Chain A
Amino acid sequence: MLECRDIVLRREGWEFTADLDLQPGGRIAVIGPSGAGKTTLLSLIAGFLAPDAGRIAWQGRDLTGIAPGKRPVSVLFQDQNLFPHLDVTRNVGLGLRPDLRLSPDQRDRVAQAIADVGLGGFGDRLPANLSGGQQSRVALARVLLRARPILLLDEPFAALGPALKSEMMELLDRIGRDTGALMLMVTHDPRDALEFARQTIVVQDGHCQPPQATGDLLRDPPPALREYLGGSIGG
């Protein structure tokens, strides 16, 4: 279980609070207005930010003070998920060894992961020579290899068109089933939440509400959420 117990983070004139219990293997959408603290929640779990109070633990193990790279966590950011100076193979290989000293067996696994996301033969390309969708696939191949039990997604497909985006969501779905990871996905689009996650966390004014069933929440949103969503879900 991922426990976020009595988390408080204070910044000038702003406070973020969370108290959550998230089950392994769950899929959870995180929605809320810009600046409400969605990315803050992910950054705390990833270890980029340290809470001023409270603790975060995974399967009973306290994560406080553990460096981001040592946590049981993979992250997909909005952008800059790939190093532009490294080719596809090396970008994916970083998921196995951060110093890229790979054994022959590990090299095979990297090639397999690249083939799994449909990019066989693209191994020696630089990210600049790939389309946006292909770049997302490379990042997903690395997630697949890292196989961490928690996957944090900060609107990673926001820049993609609708067709590509649903393609990526399918791929993500498959990776989720293969790795059995707990997935938290920040999104602006309630349809993503409906499609992807049984449960949804609403973040508002720096406060995280506990996860609720996505369908119920969107059918009958509380007033503030209704205002944020506007007319984007009919009925």
Chain B
Amino acid sequence: MAARILRVSAGPAIAAGLALLILGTLAAVAWQAEGLSGLSSWDWRAVRFTIWQAALSATISALLAVPVARALARRRFWGRGLLVTLLGAPFILPVIVAIMGLVAVFGRQGAINDALRALSLPEISVYGWQGVILAHVFFNLPLSVRLVLQGWQAIPSERFRLAESLGFAPRDVARHLERPMLRAVLPGAWLAVFLVCLTSFTVALALGGGPRATTVELAIYQAFRFDFDLSKAALLGLIQIAICVGALIATRWIAVPASFGAGRDDRVTWQGPAGWRRGTDALAIALASAFLLWPIGAVTLRGLPAIPDLPPEVWTAAIRSVVMAVISALLTLTVTLILALHLSRRPSGWIEGAGMLPLVASPLVLGTGLFILLRDVAGAQALALPVTVGVNAMMALPFGLRALIPAARTMQQDYGRLAASLDMTGIARLRLLVLPRLARPIGFAGGLAAALAMGDLGVIALFSTDQPTLPLKLYQLMTSYRMADASAAAVLLMAISFALFWIFDRGGRLA
């Protein structure tokens, strides 16, 4: 009986603990914050910039995604499958690595400016607001392309055949089939990118800053780190929460599609139109591929030869990061599994809501709050690593839940009664039913959580620590202009992140 009570209440208990932790942290932030008068015009500018850059990034990503997705939908070519799969990769690519790549291509020493100089044209700068937008488009164009491509593939191929038999010109296809689909798909794709960019920290830290390119997250960091003005950091945290909540309310009207996972690509679609459109499609694909692959290729070429010469503290940081990422992923998996299993038996709005709460709390807000709560217990030095692990585990929860809840529901529908009738409970049920049936989504969710934790440069940056993670170490190398070491560390970080994802995901598939 005791075991039964324990089993039944584990889900609600975990969810309540999670809600208490997050809401308690937010409450600590609110308590610390003083009235809005504490905000200067600089801070309000950060608020405006945050919303403006997110809207602009989302708009550019959505507009550029349409020709690329259309080309991918109606053309078949060698490497197309690989390209569609690669569109899923930026989700687990560490932000700081991509920034290194963008600097390598668009920076002062990069190929673009070399070419501009050769043509006696004015140079461009990768720093400032345009750099922030560039990096956001780099990260989110693939996401937008995948979402729009799904829209294209969701149009039944019979309809295209019908259009063909009616002698539709490409313009007619666009009017009758494609534009209605885009009207349905683009708002969700736009909002997905907008939400991601609202909590942008690393990009703004590395490429932005100054009065014209500071996001609220960056302002929290600066208030915390440089002014050590906790009440201002807390106040900015509240504003960040308000912005996230406002955006989430918008998702009640516009469905946001899941923003991760490899692109599904198993449908045979129609034959694209011949003629000049062949050329524009090829151009769209070539430009998009170059935009996405060039920076990564550039940083890899520059960094790979320098890996043997990396100083030992980079390797120490790498090992530290791997340990933290694995702990963080296991935490995420445990909580996700308990919540998903509970939800599969009895649907519960508040428990699902608790699991999604991290969406309203940005990493920096959580980090600030946890510091406020725990500062009397331990110093920043001692808190840095545990708080980073905890916040990363929490931030991965919504993704884990989105992967596991549907799978757990299917399992319960298909085999719940059979397992119950055979008296499979507790550990036996976990061992013989849950783990084998859910191995794939568990591996996938664990891989996402580990890769996200591995690449994260958020909370750890808040604390001045002499135990840096690999992303923080990389950032320190970058800001001290040790670019060879930074490039090598970037290659290392990218390789470890992808390897962690691959190992978890592969483990789930083989289990």
Contact = CB atoms under 8 A, between A and B. Distances in A.
Given A68-B421, A68-B423, A99-B424, 17 more contacts: A67-B425, A75-B417, A77-B418, A80-B414, A80-B415, A83-B432, A85-B436, A85-B437, A86-B432, A86-B436, A94-B422, A94-B424, A94-B432, A95-B422, A99-B431, A100-B428, A100-B432
A70 interface: yes
B427 to A, nearest CB: 7
Given A80-B414, A85-B437, A98-B425, A68 B420 contact: yes
A73 interface: yes
Interface in A113-139: none
Contact of B433 (A68, A81, A83, A95): A83
Interface in B394-445: 414-415, 417-418, 420-425, 427-429, 431-433, 436-437
A58 B153 CA distance: 56
A85 B438 CA distance: 11
B423 A73 contact: no
A70 B415 CA distance: 17
Contacts of B433: 83
Contact of A69 (B425, B432, B436, B437): B425
A85 B418 CA distance: 14
Query: Which 3 residue pairs spanning A and B have beta carbons closest together?
Result: A69-B423, A99-B428, A85-B436
Interface in A50-105: 67-70, 73-75, 77, 80-81, 83, 85-86, 90, 94-95, 98-100
- Taking chain A's interface residues, is the majority helix, strand, or loop, or is none over half, making it mixed? loop
Nearest to B414: A80
Contacts of A95: 422
Interface residues of B, number: 18
6 contacts: A69-B421, A74-B421, A75-B417, A80-B415, A85-B436, A98-B425
A89 to B, nearest CB: 13
A95 B420 CA distance: 12
B33 to A, nearest CB: 47
B412 to A, nearest CB: 11
Residue among B415, B418, B428, B437 with most chain A CB within 10 A: B418
Nearest to A71: B421
Nearest to A100: B432
Contacts of A46: 417, 421
A83 B418 contact: yes
A77 B417 contact: yes
A67 B423 CA distance: 8
Interface string B431-472: 111001100000000000000000000000000000000000
A85 B511 CA distance: 10
Contacts of B424: 69, 94, 98-99
B411 to A, nearest CB: 10
Contacts of A81: 418
Contacts of A47: 420
Nearest to A73: B421
A75 B423 CA distance: 12
B422 A48 contact: no
Contacts of A86: 432, 436
B417 A69 contact: no
Contacts of B431: 99
A67 B415 contact: no
B7 to A, nearest CB: 11
Given A80-B414, A85-B437, A98 B428 contact: yes
A167 B418 CA distance: 24
A187 to B, nearest CB: 19
Give the residue among A81, A99, A100 with the most B Cβ atoms within 10 A.
A99
A98 B436 contact: no
A141 to B, nearest CB: 13
Contacts of A99: 424, 427-428, 431-432
A46 B421 CA distance: 7
B443 to A, nearest CB: 15
A73 B417 CA distance: 13
A48 B420 contact: yes
Q: Please indicate which of the listed interface residues B417, B425, B433 has the most CB atoms of chain A within 10 Å of its own CB.
A: B417
Contacts of B415: 80, 83
Contacts of B422: 69, 94-95, 98
Nearest to A139: B418
Contacts of A69: 420-425
Given A83-B433, A85-B436, A99-B432, A48 B417 contact: yes
A83 B417 CA distance: 12
A46 B432 CA distance: 22
B146 to A, nearest CB: 30
Nearest to B427: A99
Contacts of B417: 46, 48, 68, 75, 77
Contacts of B425: 67, 69, 98
Contacts of B432: 83, 86, 90, 94, 98-100
A7 B418 CA distance: 24
Most interface-central of B423, B424, B425, B427 (chain A CB within 10 A):
B423
Contacts of B436: 83, 85-86
Contacts of A94: 422, 424, 432
B333 to A, nearest CB: 19
Interface string A160-192: 000000000000000000000000000000000
A73 B433 CA distance: 21
Contacts of B428: 98-100
A169 to B, nearest CB: 22
Contacts of B427: 99
A66 to B, nearest CB: 11
Interface string B101-136: 000000000000000000000000000000000000
A85 B427 CA distance: 17
Nearest to A48: B417
Contacts of A67: 420, 423, 425
A188 to B, nearest CB: 21
B133 to A, nearest CB: 48
A205 B57 CA distance: 59
A80 B418 contact: yes
Contacts of B418: 75, 77, 80-81, 83
A81 B436 CA distance: 17
B8 to A, nearest CB: 12
A86 B437 CA distance: 10
Contacts of A75: 417-418, 421
Contacts of A73: 421
A74 B417 CA distance: 11
Given A83-B415, A83-B432, A86-B432, A98 B423 contact: yes
Q: Which of A68, A70, A73 gathers most chain B CB within 10 Å?
A: A68
A90 B414 CA distance: 18
